[in-house]
């Protein structure tokens, strides 16, 4: 699917990987619906893009909030062709620690936002994409999810995060098999550690140590590299139902 003149919705679109996607798609000639819980930053980013962007205050954990944002974007720009799910949280806790067993409220929150939030985006986007006329390749829409390398190589304390992201990976193929009948594709990206607000709190010494474990290039990922991968997925019609590791061949140790 060509990016120019298409309508792209991006959850978590006002920061980190999502912000990089918002910027790259606007630069590529698309219209962008920026979905984010941070209204101040989201509004400012949308204003900087002018008529090419719309901000929708969105809580991906709330299906009604997501559905309303998708509908608002379609109303303003006329359609939805691409949906990118970048919104997510990460919290660390051990199954058993000095404070007691794993707090299930924390586990539920991570799974609800990362996994359920992704599904909220998918179901609302597919419903809207069904209204699109197929393009010359018979394509109506493309969905791109953000999982994590932790879905495959989770470390100690990442049980909730890894479970939520493994769920995103696990539902990719069955959804691809279903929505293929509608002329739609779905692909998941599993990024390693990137220079985002989520990793900003890590001490520089730890980030350097992580970078040294990456075969090449020996550095953290850049958000634009994630965005470039998303754009390639949209433009490459034979990418479907799979998960792409985007981590410089890094394989994290247990701790």
At 149-179, the pLDDT tens digits run 999 998 888 999 999 999 999 999 999 999 9
Spans of all domains in the chain: 7-246
pLDDT of 253 strictly over 80 = no
- Which CATH fold topology does 7-246 show? Rossmann fold (3.40.50)
pLDDT of 50 strictly over 90 = yes
Burial class of residue 247 in the structure, from the number of CB atoms within 10 Å of its CB (0-12 exposed, 13-18 middle, 19+ buried): buried
Q: Which residues are identified as catalytic?
A: 161
Show the tokens assigned to 71.
């509908």
State the chain's mean pLDDT as an integer. 94
Contact predicate 45/22, CB 8 Å: yes
Burial 170-193 (b: 16+ CB within 10 A, else e): ebbeebbeebeeebbbbbbbbbbb
Contact predicate 65/44, CB 8 Å: no
pLDDT of 210 strictly over 90 = no
- Overall residue count recorded for the chain in this entry: 255
Give pLDDT tens digits for 63-114: 999 999 999 999 999 999 999 999 999 888 888 888 889 889 999 999 999 9
Contact predicate 15/196, CB 8 Å: yes
pLDDT value at position 224? 97
Q: Where are the beta strands (DSSP E) in the chain?
A: 7-11, 31-36, 53-57, 82-85, 96-97, 100-101, 141-146, 184-191, 243-246
In 3D space, the residue among 242, 230, 225 whose CA is nearest the CA of residue 168 turns out to be 242
pLDDT of 132 strictly over 80 = yes
Mean pLDDT (whole number) for 141-148: 98
């Amino acid at each position: 699917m060509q990016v120019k003149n298409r309508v792209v919705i991006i959850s978590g679109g006002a920061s980190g990987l999502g912000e990089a996607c918002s910027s790259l798609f606007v630069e590529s000639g698309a219209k962008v619906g920026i979905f984010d819980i941070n209204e101040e930053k989201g509004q400012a980013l949308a204003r900087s893009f002018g008529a090419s962007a719309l901000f929708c205050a969105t809580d991906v954990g709330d299906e009604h909030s997501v559905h309303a944002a998708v509908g608002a974007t379609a109303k303003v720009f006329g359609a939805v062709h691409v949906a990118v799910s970048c919104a997510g949280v990460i919290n660390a806790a051990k199954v058993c620690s000095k404070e007691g067993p794993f707090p299930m409220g924390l586990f539920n929150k991570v799974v609800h936002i990362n996994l359920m939030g992704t599904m909220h985006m998918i179901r609302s986007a597919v419903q809207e994409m069904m209204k699109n006329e197929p393009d010359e390749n018979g394509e109506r829409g493309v969905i791109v999810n953000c999982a994590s390398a932790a879905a495959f190589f989770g470390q100690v304390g990442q049980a909730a995060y890894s479970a939520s992201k493994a769920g995103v990976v696990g539902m990719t193929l069955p959804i691809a098999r279903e929505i293929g009948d509608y002329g739609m594709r779905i692909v998941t990206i599993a990024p390693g550690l990137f220079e985002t607000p989520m990793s900003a709190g890590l001490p520089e010494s730890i980030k350097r140590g992580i970078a040294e474990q990456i075969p090449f290039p020996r550095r953290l990922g850049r958000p634009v590299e994630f965005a470039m991968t998303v754009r390639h997925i949209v433009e490459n019609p034979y990418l479907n139902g799979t998960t792409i590791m985007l981590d410089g061949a890094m394989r994290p140790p247990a701790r």
